[in-house]
């Protein structure tokens, strides 16, 4: 059933055998089902353990807040790596972004600070692009150099911009926040009383599932900084640009097969340049949000390797927008947990136990014995740990994001597929 | 070897620089610039080498062709 040229016919390409059998298509219904089962799982554990902070509105708002810088750094990594340039320098670009936000935020206002963060990050991206695209040097080495430069340049500029106290900026004015307005009385259900208060009162009742949904609603409608909306909006925008436009197709083809793209007349250098500069801008925006919204101040060493965690979130998300978003939320949630009581972190052990048991059942259903048995064993170990302790020490809470990173990457690494030409230097017309 | 010596020298000089009134952040900047410029210099030398080789081969071939023409 092949044509004269030996190419598969459209029918063949679409036949289920030609595509990998095990891929599960993510439809709206499946997504809704997965989300609601996650909420139900959290709800069950919350009721069993009585740890209200497991998914209180405060925890969820904090998780979303922490996820934004990670997500933006990861989104930057996505742009860059989809065009075939590995970007270890995200951390350095993020540092540049925090400084830009600290400097312009102090002297001109928070929105100018955000803009300056984006511009500074993009300058870092430009340096990375010049080194890796024009000079085709090793992308890891260039990234490390960007990280060093980002740190050094910001420290040096700080001594000039903030002479009194060079390690941090003065307080940056807070960014305006959005709260769901009070609706007129005649609207059923949400009219009259302030909607957010209504959500909070339902959340405080502690009902199964309903209260958890209410606390999520409260978290996303009460006192949300506008930067959160911008950041969340950037996810579908990125998806649309990279996967639904001709420009995005060309950009991704530079990451999969640059010489094939070149033979079809794509300007590979230009597309890589655009991708890496946008990448720097996004990482800078992440850093700027970190400085302006999360801490309200620029402080030296503020990023704490969040650029790298963002990169991990992107790898965990299999170089896709949706996966990246869920990865960042997961890491954001573990970071938010650090600030909560030890009781909530302790309850998290039970969540992990139930999650592993469900995972084992799924694997057993698929007749994959080894992963199933392995998950059950780990589940038993975690459950014993849960039973034998009452409160986890603080250190465990601090280490959770990193353990989560390691676990997720080692468990998921089998199914991940990065762009085919990712990290390979490209020199025009020199295919061997 | 020389790279690590340079690195160690820069790290140690951080403290001295502070005393002499030069801001010590320069050290980190210098390290970053050094890394970048070294790899870029390597790449440029490699490209120059390739080009020189090609030129040499071209000259050789041209000379051979001249010889063959002369012989004929």
B36 touches chain A (CB under 8 A): yes
Smallest Cβ–Cβ distance between B28 and the set A127, A136, A152 belongs to: A152
- Cβ-proximal residues to A117 (8 Å cutoff; 6+ apart), any chain: A96, A97, A98, A100, A101, A104, A284, A285, A287, A288, A289, A291, A292
Query: What integer pLDDT is reported at residue A413 of this predicted model?
Result: 66
Interface probe, candidates B14, B36, B37, chain A, greatest A C-beta count within 10 A: B36
Bridge partner list, A225: A177
Element (H, E) at B5: helix B2-20
Q: Reduced to 3 states, what is the DSSP secondary structure of residue B52? A: helix
- Cβ-proximal residues to A272 (8 Å cutoff; 6+ apart), any chain: A83, A84, A85, A129, A132, A133, A254, A426
Query: What integer pLDDT is reported at residue A7 of this predicted model?
Result: 45
ipTM: 0.79
Burial of A267 (0-12, 13-18, 19+ CB in 10 A): middle
Residues 13 through 52 of chain A touching chain B, CB cutoff 8 Å: none
How many Å apart are CA A174 and CA A421, to the nearest integer?
43
A137 contacts B32? CB cut-off 8 A? no
- Residues in chain A within 8 Å Cβ distance of B21: none
- Residues in chain A within 8 Å Cβ distance of B26: 152, 156
Smallest Cβ–Cβ distance between A137 and the set B26, B28, B43 belongs to: B43
Smallest Cβ–Cβ distance between B32 and the set A137, A138, A149 belongs to: A149
A146 contacts B29? CB cut-off 8 A? no
- Cβ-proximal residues to A233 (8 Å cutoff; 6+ apart), any chain: none
What does the mean pLDDT of chain B come to?
A: 85
B32 contacts A159? CB cut-off 8 A? no
- Residues in chain A within 8 Å Cβ distance of B33: 145, 149
**Highest averaged pLDDT of the listed ranges A65-69, A346-350, B27-31:** A65-69
- Residues in chain B within 8 Å Cβ distance of A88: none
Query: What integer pLDDT is reported at residue B28 of this predicted model?
Result: 84
B50 touches chain A (CB under 8 A): no
Confidence of residue A25 (pLDDT cuts 50, 70, 90): low
A126 touches chain B (CB under 8 A): no
A144 contacts B35? CB cut-off 8 A? yes
Smallest Cβ–Cβ distance between B28 and the set A131, A141, A151 belongs to: A151
| pLDDT: which is higher, A82 or A182 | A82
Report whether pLDDT(B24) > 70. Answer: yes
For residue range A281-304, list pLDDT tens digits in order: 999 999 999 999 888 888 888 888
A161 touches chain B (CB under 8 A): no
Write a three-state SS string for chain A: CECCCCCECHHHHHCCCCCCCCCCCCCHHHHHHHHHHHHHHHHHHHHHHCCHHHCCHHHHHHHHHHHHHHHHHHHHHHHHHHCCCCCCCHHHHHHHHHHHHHHHHHHHCHHHHHHHHHHHHHHHHHHHHHHHHHCCCCHHHHHHHHHHHHHHHHHHHHHHHCCCCCCECCCCCCCCEECCCCECCCCCCCECCCHHHHHHHHHHHCCCCHHHHHHHHHHHHCCEEHHHHHHHHHHHHHHHHHHHCHHHHHHHHHHHCHHHHHHCCCCHHHHHHHHHHHHHHHHHHHHHHHHHHHHCCCECCCCCCHHHHHHHHHHHCCCCHHHHHHHHHHHHHHHHHHCCCHHHHHHHHHHHHHHHHHHHHHHHHCCCHHHHHHHHHHHHHHHHHHHHCCCCCHHHHHHHHHHHHHHHHHHHHHHCCCCCCCCCCCCCCCCC
Q: Average the pLDDT over each of A93-107, A165-179, A381-395, A403-417 and give the range with the smallest value.
A: A403-417
Q: Average the pLDDT over each of A309-323, A363-377, B41-55 and give the range with the smallest value.
A: A363-377
Interface probe, candidates A134, A142, A148, chain B, greatest B C-beta count within 10 A: A148
Question: Between vectors from CA A344 to CA A60 and to CA A401, what angle results, nearest 5°?
Answer: 70
Instruction: Find the closest chain A residue to B31 by CA distance.
Output: A148
How many Å apart are CA A323 and CA A33, to the nearest integer?
16
- Put simply, whether the predicted model's pTM sits higher than 0.80 gets the answer yes
Report whether pLDDT(A12) > 70. Answer: no
For residue range A150-160, list pLDDT tens digits in order: 999 998 888 88
Q: Are A343 and A86 in contact (CB under 8 A)?
A: no
Query: What integer pLDDT is reported at residue A428 of this predicted model?
Result: 84
């Amino acid at each position: 059933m092949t044509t004269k040229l030996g190419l598969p016919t459209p029918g063949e390409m679409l036949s289920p055998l030609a595509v990998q059998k095990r891929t599960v298509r993510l439809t709206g219904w499946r997504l809704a089902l997965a989300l609601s089962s996650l909420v139900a799982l959290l709800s069950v554990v919350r009721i069993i353990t009585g740890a209200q902070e497991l998914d209180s509105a405060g925890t969820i708002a904090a998780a979303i807040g922490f996820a934004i810088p990670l997500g933006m750094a990861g989104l930057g990594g996505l742009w860059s790596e989809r065009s075939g340039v590995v970007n270890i320098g995200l951390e350095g670009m993020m540092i540049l972004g925090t400084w830009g936000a600290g400097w312009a935020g102090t002297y001109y206002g928070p929105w100018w600070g955000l803009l300056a963060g984006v511009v500074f990050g993009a300058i870092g991206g430009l340096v990375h692009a010049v080194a890796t695209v024009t000079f085709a040097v090793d992308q890891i080495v260039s990234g490390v150099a960007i990280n060093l430069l980002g740190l050094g340049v910001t420290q040096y500029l700080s001594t000039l911009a903030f002479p009194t106290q060079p390690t941090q900026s003065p307080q940056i004015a807070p960014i305006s926040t959005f709260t769901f307005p009070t609706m007129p009385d005649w609207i059923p259900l949400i009219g009259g009383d302030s909607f957010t208060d209504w959500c909070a009162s339902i959340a405080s009742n502690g009902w199964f599932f309903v209260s958890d949904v209410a606390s999520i609603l409260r978290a996303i409608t009460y006192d949300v900084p506008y930067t959160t909306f911008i950041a969340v909006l950037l996810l579908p925008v990125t998806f649309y640009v990279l996967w639904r436009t001709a420009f995005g197709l060309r950009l991704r083809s530079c990451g999969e097969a640059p010489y094939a793209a070149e033979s079809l007349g794509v300007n590979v250098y230009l597309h890589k340049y655009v991708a890496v500069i946008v990448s720097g801008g996004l990482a800078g925006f992440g850093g700027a949000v970190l400085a302006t919204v999360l801490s309200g101040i620029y402080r030296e060493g503020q990023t704490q390797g969040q650029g790298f965690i963002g990169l991990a979130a992107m790898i965990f998300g299999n170089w896709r927008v949706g996966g990246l978003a869920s990865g960042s939320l997961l890491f954001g949630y573990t970071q938010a947990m650090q600030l909560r009581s030890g009781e909530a972190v302790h309850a998290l052990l039970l969540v992990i136990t139930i999650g592993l048991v469900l995972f084992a059942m799924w694997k057993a259903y698929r007749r994959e014995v080894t992963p199933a048995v392995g998950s059950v064993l780990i589940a038993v170990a975690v459950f014993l740990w849960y039973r034998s302790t009452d409160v986890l020490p603080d250190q465990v809470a601090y280490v959770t994001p990193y353990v989560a990173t390691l676990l997720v990457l080692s468990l998921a690494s089998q199914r991940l597929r990065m762009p085919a030409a990712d990290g390979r230097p490209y020199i025009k017309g020199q295919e061997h | 070897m020389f790279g690590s010596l340079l690195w160690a020298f820069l790290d140690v000089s951080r403290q001295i620089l502070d005393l002499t009134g030069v801001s010590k952040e320069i050290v980190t900047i210098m390290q970053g610039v050094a890394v970048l410029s070294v790899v870029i210099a390597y790449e440029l030398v490699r490209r120059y080498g390739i080009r020189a080789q090609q030129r040499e081969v071209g000259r050789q071939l041209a000379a051979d062709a001249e010889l063959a023409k002369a012989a004929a």
